[in-house]
Amino acid sequence: MMRQQAQFEVRPSLMTGDSAEVYLHRTQRVLRTEGLNPVVVMEFSAMAPGVLCGVEEAQTLLSRVMSEGNREVWSVPEGASVAQGEICLTIRAPYSSFGLYETAITGILAQATGWASAAKELVKAAGGVPVACVGAHNVHPSVAAVMDYAAVAGGCQNGSTALGGRLTGTQPVSSVSGALLQIIGDPLRALQAFDRAMSADVPRVAYVDPRRDIAEQTAQLARLMRDKIAAVRLARAPGGQQVPAETIKEVRRRLDALGCQAVKIIVSGDLTPDRITGLLEQGAPLDALHDGSYVARAHPIPFRPNIRSIDDRSVAQEVEPPPPNPRLVRVL
């Protein structure tokens, strides 16, 4: 469940329907020409099981385009697990007040539910180890914050963008960047520069150079920055390989030997549920996980829009429709 009511941006191009499929514009034109604007009940059903996300963003859009006196919007709560075929959102209103936004509603639900469902898979595999979504660099910037939001809906503790943090009421994760390390040329000097530039409330999370010995670098960082370093982030091993469990164990041993038991180990990079499970089964001491691509590359979960009734008259359906969903709660 989300921690607060998110404040989503509704772009002017969305309000004007510029991102809607053209056939919906033409449908509206035909109905205006014919003088038709019936009250319809339209349902949006998940085409696969997953973690529902996007209903609050869709609600924000609908609250802007439909008049208060002639609308009903019902939904399953954000972050709930839903079944294949389950009706997750229902709208009852004059068709022309929302029909143009069918593309936006289904797209919002599909993409966000896909991200949230992938996040849930990682969180389940992590078994209590905190997971953050740091995949903003793998999606278009216009949706990066929404992906962070969906990841939190799926169980991640936070994301990595400032706007995503505002949407979710969480603190975005951060560390010394790979770019800073490359420009300065040394992980210790990069961390020291970071320390000089950042306010005291920003955690000092070192980025360990994946081109060099990981355990030795960690020991050096801990010896010289022990009073300030909060965590070390391990992204890759030399040769671009994944960091093995034994290396993570050695990093922990080195830190503990130096009396730095409070320094956490963060493993980042190309995480999957299988990789997380494998590391934990091998006893890798993980304090946090930062996923850079699994959530970002998740496939959308499609949603099917369907008109159930027109002016309170039932519409014949292609297949037997499901019964009313008792989990639907009125939101508008």
Measuring CA to CA, which residue among 91, 99, 62, 51 is closest to residue 75? Answer: 91
pLDDT digits (tens, 9 = 90+) for 161-214: 999 999 999 999 989 988 999 999 888 999 999 999 999 999 999 999 888 899
| pLDDT more than 70, % of the chain | 98
Q: What is the DSSP letter of 172?
A: P
pLDDT value at 3 more than 60? no
196 and 105 both lie in a single domain: no
In this structure, is residue 140 part of a structural domain?
Answer: no
Considering the chain, what is the average pLDDT of its residues? 93
User: Which of 102, 100, 8 has the alpha carbon at shortest distance from 53?
Assistant: 8
Residue 81, number of CB atoms within 10 A of its CB: 13
Residue 135 included in any domain: no
Q: Flag the least confident range among 32-46, 216-230, 240-254.
A: 216-230
Based on the domain organization, do 74 and 102 belong to the same domain? Answer: yes
Range of the domain at 195: 157-291
Reading the block at residue 247, the tokens are: 């290396």
* Residues 98, 42 within the same domain: yes
Pairing assessment for the beta strands 303-310 and 39-46 based on DSSP bridges: antiparallel
pLDDT tens-digit readout, 246-268 = 999 999 999 999 999 999 999 99
Task: Compute φ and ψ for 65, nearest 5 degrees.
Answer: -105, -15
Residues 281-300: pLDDT tens digits? 999 999 999 999 999 999 99
Residue 325 and residue 239 in one domain: no
Q: How far is CA 249 from CA 237, 256, 284, in A?
A: 14, 11, 6
Which pLDDT value is given to residue 4?
A: 57
Same domain? For 47 and 162 the reply is: no
Whether residue 309 is found in the same domain as residue 279: no
**Number of Cβ within a 10 Å radius of residue 9:** 12
Q: Is 33 helix (H, G, I), strand (E, B) or coil?
A: helix
The domain tally of the chain equals: 2
In a domain, 261, yes or no: yes
- pLDDT score at 269: 86
Q: What is the pLDDT of residue 204?
A: 92
pLDDT of residue 1: 43
Looking at residues 93-97, what average pLDDT do you find? 96
Does 278 share its domain with 317?
no
